Structure 1
């Protein structure tokens, strides 16, 4: 998944930029006197180049507490692996980490990130659901930085010509994808169905949009054995069986699916808000001919997975006081505005979604706010990486029509039980 832009495009990069940064962070051994000093900020890569100017501003204002940027690979799995490897080694190179919202529980349960004082940050100013992604067992372990929610993109010209409105339910989406798309030489519907984090997101959204969930109670209770989970798997499997989801979509990640829509090959697409700007930009074959709405569900509006990223402080950082100041800086109104306007990433401050100027330049903000406010985080678990891999493996077999929804739910229940019972 494009995990920050989502998981988006503004924070992915192909190169690892680690050489020469080790000296910027103090060695391990506990906080320095006063907890103040230089920081190293580690994140997935910044393709829109919005971060360095923000850090330059900080460094000019605080020359005694400079921040050095470390950018990791474009793969969310690889980024997570490198962060975990460094933190588990006991090294002190990383001070502040920009982590996928789904990793907060895992990093907190392992003691790799430090709890934070709630009163240090203006949490009441954030969109309500995003704060939940930053907590574990009732404590704040991170500060929300970027949020995200899935949207349904649709060809407004084709629906309009047929006298149809955008779908609000799965049955409406399936009917339109099955009947209207072929008349225009299009494929019906796609999401992100390659086995990676994006598939976990799409499957979790399907289960949630039927009223179910995968795990409850901070990952301690398995809840996937439900009619809702069976319905969620069946919705996607039926689309592939009936052909309104193309087989090609089994190879789609965010970018492949975005390209299919922007090139005019899809009637419907589930993807993140960054697609809106691309679809309406130069070279797009659907510019001025598409729209976006919240995801449909089994019997009404659906429920998106809550994407985005959180800012956490390494438990080994020697400068936690400076780190807390840096987190407050990155979530300030001025910086959050630039996160949107320069980085093209959805901010966490609720007030920005009502700003007339921002809404005029980013028309999807109103829809996105609606989707974020009804969104639900991915399953919280200290073993989230294993949970996600299990969901992907089962989901891959369901979408390949090798396993029925009933069989998939039973298998996933067993595998989640093995994970939760593991050491």
Structure 2
């Protein structure tokens, strides 16, 4: 989520959330009893400033259904906490919620967001995997708004000088990180390995790339105890043990890892697309010297975890018909184009990834499209926060050499089983 903040400066963490004034609807606040009327929309740090002008376009066309923007804290945890407090209270201050994709299952299972009619929204125009992040229990509970997928950033100048191509497999990445990086005084590879949501993502990508899963689609069946999971965590542990992942990276979040690459200290970096802007900007030691490709896997391209956010309608929304119409507006082709060009955020509309003018302006779009099409959502669970904490803790212990991959996978399976039994 930190990738939205860096999108503004060089880009960072997304979670648009729609929050509002003090609650009650009805004629006293200008509302009408047909489900239409004014709304509020709060976002966790719109640091690029694109959303205000986008909403002004809606307000000019819908003077009786104006939307007011309220910005919540940058921290995803704080944003989630504020949303849940309001939703549990039934205060009804939120009409539309732009929630992190990982929260959709939790919010839907709790009954906080309303099911939506799939035919009401342009889902067929979206990159197919992003729609899966908005569904729970076979129903559409949100509409994708912004997507994201992890990519491998690499020093093109260094690999070209060695007569090498960017790695497509873990073995190629490991060999280049151990040999070429060392010859150029660089660290080999880094991701986001501090115990927080970023480590959950990195660990899940390693497991998925190896062909494994963590939970079944129902969020209750534990599937992590597998050879694939042991292989994925083993890949990360081996990197630290053998030195091609620097121990410093165990303290990296998005920004620390981006800065290390941008300063010219890394050969390879796993990060979100926002890192492209900073690494290309003034003062970057690698501007014009790097490229971005899909993540590698054991035998070929790997599997990224989908990031981004989804728009949902609160079950306590004062004006649900207006809320659904606002979501349709925000996912229209015109607005999605502005999400990319003015907000520097990856859109969900498939046609934008092959638009020649956009590809010239954002050269990473073809590689990002490939990454998104091969990506998978984070484990779906009504207890996602607990699931993520368990994955983080286990993955960190493995990378810090405190536990073997085999023992760690058994431990994680037991912890996830206990979480799944909670009601």
TM-score in same-fold range (> 0.5): yes
CA 1:66–1:274 in structure 2 vs 1: closer, same or farther (change >3 Å)?
same
For structure 1, list consecutive stretches of 5 or more residues without a partner in the other structure: none
Q: Deviations over 1:40-97 (max 9, x none)?
A: 1132111111111111111122121111112222222221111111111111111111
- In structure 1, distance between residues paired with 2:118 and 2:5: 25
Task: Confirm or deny: 8 A CA contact 2:154 2:292 kept in the other structure.
Answer: yes
Partner residue of 2:328? Answer: 328
2:412 aligned residue? 412
Contact 1:177 1:267 in 2 (8 A): yes
Aligned position for 2:287: 287
- Superposed CA RMSD in Å reads 2.0
Whether contact under 8 Å (2:233, 2:405) holds in the other structure is yes
**SS of structure 1 residue aligned to 2:34:** helix
Indicate conservation of the 8 Å contact 1:4/1:309, yes or no.
no
How big is the shift at 1:353?
0.9
Equivalent in the alignment of 2:266: 266
Q: Cα distance, 1:150 vs. partner? A: 0.6
Counterpart CA distance in 2 for 1:318 and 1:17 is 13
SS at match of 1:337: helix
Residue number in structure 2 paired with 1:67: 67
Cα displacement string for residues 315-364 of structure 1 (whole angstroms, at most 9, x for unaligned residues): 00020000001000000111000000000000000111111100111101
Mapped partners of 2:213, 2:149: distance in 1: 17
* Cα pair 1:116 1:140 within 8 Å, conserved: yes
Match runs of 1:10-49 below 5 Å: 12=13, 21-23=20-22, 26=25, 33-49=33-49
Find out whether 1:387 has 2:387 as its counterpart: yes
Q: Retained in 2: the 8 A contact 1:3–1:76?
A: no
- For 1:403, the equivalent position in structure 2 comes to 403
* Structure 1 residue 25 displacement after superposition: 6.8
Displacement after TM superposition at 1:26 (Å): 3.2
Q: What is the total number of aligned residue pairs between the two structures?
A: 416
Q: How does 1:185-264 map to 2 (within 5 A)?
A: 185-264=185-264
Shift of 1:5: 7.8
Aligned to 1:314: 314
Assess if the C-alpha contact under 8 Å between 2:135 and 2:141 holds in 1: yes
Q: In structure 2, what is the Cα distance between the partners aligned to 1:17 and 1:41?
A: 3
TM-score by length of 2: 0.95
Find the residue that maps to 2:409 and give its secondary structure: helix
The SS at the match of 2:64 is: coil
Within 1, Cα distance between the matches of 2:361 and 2:339? 14
Q: Distance in 1 between matches of 2:299 and 2:315?
A: 45
After superposition, the C-alpha distances for 1:197-242 in whole angstroms (9 at most, x for unaligned) are 1000000000000000101122121100001100111111111111
Aligned to 2:125: 125
Match of 2:161 in 1: 161
Instruction: Classify the secondary structure of the residue corresponding to 2:115.
Output: coil
Residue 99 of structure 2 corresponds to 99
Contact 1:32 1:318 in 2 (8 A): no
SS at match of 2:98: strand
Check conservation: 1:36, 1:319, Cα contact below 8 A: yes
* Bigger shift: residues 212-221 or 329-338: 212-221
Cα displacement (A) at 1:3 = 6.3
User: Which sections of structure 2, spanning at least 5 residues, go unmatched?
Assistant: none
CA distance in 1, matches of 2:174, 2:80: 36
1:183 aligns to 2:186 (yes or no): no
